[in-house]
Amino acid sequence: MIYTVTLNPSIDYIVHVDHLKIGTLNRMSSELKFPGGKGINVSRILKRIQTPSVALGFLGGFTGRFILDWLKAEGVLNQFTQIAADTRINIKLKAESETEINGVGPHISDKEIQNLKAELDTIQPSDIVVLSGSLPGNLPDGFYQELIQLIHKQGAEFVIDTTGDALQQSLSSRPLLVKPNKEELGELYQTTFDSIEELLPYGQQLLAEGAQHAIISMASEGALLFTDDGVYQSNVLMHPLKNSVGAGDSMIAGFIGNYARSKDAVEAFKWGVACGSATAFSDDLASGELIRTLLSEVHIRQIS
Ligand SMILES: Nc1ncnc2c1ncn2[C@@H]1O[C@H](COP(=O)(O)OP(=O)(O)OP(=O)(O)O)[C@@H](O)[C@H]1O
Ligand SMILES: O=P(O)(O)OC[C@@]1(O)O[C@H](CO)[C@@H](O)[C@@H]1O
């Protein structure tokens, strides 16, 4: 089974404003609300590519109920830990450019933390746990490390999609996959990149530090896959961009959903690119139908 862990879920409140003027009243031209948070996005895409998963994490209040109802309607299995405080609302403002304003997240009590950790007691050695996104306000910086220890105690594998120190510290625990985007990779190694060639040593460094597979996603410039057998580059699919929120999560879902079955990293990468691109070309997360249509447009070549 694949488990996703979203410690800081959200309602993503997507607001379209035609001509945004700061400092005055603006009227929305349209608005949408979706369940959000990186692990939840992974589980929703897994469902659409017929791969079962169980979504874990903290949910509370009226916002938490909205997310639970939505996941139930979509048939996404879940075992969330109930909390007293309200799950956050993240604003995705779509005007001339895209602006995101993410909440800090609710307070989590010690008892609620223990309840979440107890959910990991039942995972099996063949399971994969996807740890994604930010930590709600009061959780300590090393919290992902604590979860990784619990996952390893059960003999299972993990994927981690986070940034900075938490990503750095996780590498020596041999994550099955890490997927920083180009900016996050630059932040990790305190550098910037002007070309694919400049990226290559840093992708290799992720493997040298312990990652089993690393994808560097580059939005409209495609993606790179680093494995012990070589480095692979995807083409860029050309369709109108509708929404980049969740493209990275969709890419992780596509990779891990396929890899869990095939154990073939290059084939899994192909699915990752199809899922990530399909979400970029959709208003919400991608449909299974669009993912399957785009799969035939994905071409992977070995570059090293
Ligand atoms: N505009 C685009 N055109 C074509 N493909 C795209 C575009 N945006 C994203 N993709 C595809 O989706 C993948 C993941 O996107 P991206 O690099 O934006 O991830 P991310 O930064 O983690 O996204 P997010 O945090 O918003 O979920 C890319 O590597 C690419 O394959
Ligand atoms: O604040 P975090 O946890 O880093 O990111 C949360 C978030 O921006 O990530 C998802 C897209 O990847 C959205 O659904 C959600 O709003």
The ipTM (two decimal places) reads 0.98
* Ligand 1 close to Cβ of residue 222 (< 6 A): yes
Same domain, 154 and 263: no
Task: Give tens-digit pLDDT for 274-285.
Answer: 999 999 999 889
Do both 154 and 190 map to the same domain?
A: no
Closest CA to ligand 1's atom 14: 248
Q: Measured between alpha carbons, how far is 98 from 26 in angstroms, rounded to an integer?
A: 16
- Contact between residue 63 and residue 11 where contact means Cβ atoms under 8 Å apart: yes
**Residue 273 Cβ contacting ligand 1 at under 6 Å:** yes
Grouping H, G, I as helix, E, B as strand and the rest as coil, residue 86 is coil
Asked if the structure places residue 168 within a domain, the reply is no
Distance of CA 57 to the CA centre of its chain: 14
With respect to residue 171, please indicate whether it lies within any of the assigned structural domains: no
Q: What angle do CA 206, 212, 218 make, to 5 degrees?
A: 55
Pairwise CA distance, residues 237 & 94, whole Å: 22
- Asked if residue 56 is part of any domain, the answer here is yes
Cα of 223 from ligand 1 centre, angstroms: 8
Q: Are residues 208 and 157 in the same domain?
A: no
The reported pLDDT for the residue numbered 183 is 96
User: For ligand 2, is residue 102 a contact (CB within 6 Å)?
Assistant: yes
State the pLDDT at residue 299: 98
Residues 180, 146, single domain; the answer is: no
Which of residues 115, 138, 161 is at a domain's end? 161
8 Å CB contact between 56 and 79: yes
Contact in structure between 214 and 255 (CB atoms under 8 Å): no
Taking the C-alpha atoms of residue 1 and residue 76, their distance in angstroms, rounded to an integer, is 13
Task: Give the end of a domain, one of 110, 138, 161.
Answer: 161
- CB of residue 133 inside a 6 A radius of ligand 1: no
* Sign of torsion over alpha carbons 194, 200, 206, 209: negative
Give yes or no for residue 54 CB within 6 A of ligand 1: no
Q: Which CATH number belongs to the domain containing residue 113 in this structure? A: 3.40.1190.20
In the reported structure, the alpha carbon of residue 252 is separated from the centroid of ligand 1 by a whole-number distance in angstroms of 11
Distance in angstroms (rounded) separating the CA atoms of residues 137 and 145: 17
Catalytic residue at 12? Answer: no
| Cα first-last separation, the chain | 33
pLDDT confidence of residue 287: 98
Q: Residue 137: its pLDDT value, please?
A: 86
Specify the pairing of strand 53-60 against strand 81-83: parallel
The minimum-distance atom of ligand 1 relative to the CA of 179 is: 22
Q: Is the CB of 64 under 6 A from ligand 1?
A: no
> How far is the centre of ligand 1, averaged over its atoms, from the C-alpha of 197 (Å)?
20
Domain that holds residue 210: 176-304
216, containing H or E segment: strand 214-217
Does residue 153 share a domain with residue 62? yes
What is the reported pLDDT for 283?
Answer: 87
For 24-62, how does the pLDDT look when each residue is reduced to its tens digit (9 = 90+)? Answer: 999 999 999 999 999 999 999 999 999 999 999 999 999
Domains in the chain: how many in total?
2
Strand segments (E) across 25-152? 30-36, 53-60, 77-78, 81-83, 88-94, 98-101, 128-132
Does residue 14 lie in a domain region? yes
Considering the domain architecture, whether residues 125 and 228 belong to the same structural domain is answered as: no
Instruction: Answer yes or no: do 152 and 192 share one domain.
Output: no
Domain annotation covers residue 74: yes
Pick the residue whose CA is nearest to atom 16 on ligand 1: 219
CA-CA distance, 304 to 225, in Å (whole number)?
11
Q: How far is the CA of 56 from the centre of ligand 2 (A)?
A: 15
53 neighbors 76 (Cβ within 8 angstroms): yes
- Amino acid 81 reads T
Q: Please indicate, yes or no, whether residues 301 and 182 belong to a single structural domain of this protein.
A: yes
Is residue 224 situated within a structural domain? yes
Contact by Cβ (8 Å): 265, 179: no
- Does some domain include residue 78? yes
Q: 302 in a domain, yes or no?
A: yes
Give distance in angstroms: CA of 38 to centre of ligand 2.
Answer: 5
**The pair of three-digit structure tokens given for residue 25, joined into one six-digit string:** 């009243």
113 and 262 both lie in a single domain: no
The Cα–Cα gap between 115 and 118 comes to 5
Closest ligand to C-alpha of residue 101 is 2
12, 127, 161, 249: the active-site residue: 249
Whether residue 204 is found in the same domain as residue 149:
no
Query: What pLDDT does residue 42 have?
Result: 98
In a shared domain, residues 139 and 197: no
Atom 11 of ligand 2 has which residue's CA nearest to it? Answer: 246
The angle subtended at Cα 236 by Cα 96 and Cα 267, nearest 5°, is 130
Domain end call among 109, 132, 161 = 161
pLDDT < 70 stretches in the chain: none
